[in-house]
Every structure is written in C-alpha cells, then in structure tokens.
Amino acid sequence: ETRAMASYNGGGHVEHMMNIAFMGTLVCSGRGRGLVISTAANSQFGEVFRLMQGEESPKTPLQNSMDQLGKQLSFYSFGVIALIFIIG
C-alpha cells in the first residue's frame, strides 16, 4: 500500500481530505504521480451534480404565462371542435 492510498480515507468532507488533487488543481512546478481514486458520478463533482438534480427549480414568470396560454388555447380549440361537431 502506497503512502497516497494510506492517507486516503475513502471520502468524507472535502475540507478534511489531505494529499488530494481535484480536477482543475493548479500546479506551479515540480513532478509527481497521481492515483485516480474516483471518477464521474463517484467524484466530488458527481456528488454535487447528484445534489443539484434533486432540487426542483421554480418556474419563471414566462414559463407560467406560457403554461396559461397553452391551457387557454387547448380550451378554445376543444370548444371550436365541439361547435363544428355539433353544427356539422
């Protein structure tokens, strides 16, 4: 077991992680090796994405007015269809 794996405790809070470089980490100089410990949905970015998916964003005023317009158009369309069917 390497020193890097010995210091990795399997996750936890980001602020308590030691010797971990995340995507986008800036390295000014030097050499090193890295060991990938998680990718995609198992990474910190994946955790944030999963948390954001659970949140339902509120509808904007434009979306509300478009929904109302759609309901009105449907109502009037069915009215015209019924009128044509009755006259028919």
* pLDDT tens digit at each of 88 positions of the chain: 455 555 555 556 666 666 677 777 788 888 877 777 777 777 777 788 888 887 788 899 999 999 999 999 999 999 999 999 999 7
pLDDT of residue 64: 96
Question: Rounded CA gap, 35 and 20, in Å?
Answer: 9
What sign does the CA torsion over 16, 18, 24, 25 have?
positive
Neighbour-count burial of 17, counting CB atoms closer than 10 A to its CB (0-12 exposed, 13-18 middle, 19+ buried) = middle
Residue 53 three-state SS:
helix
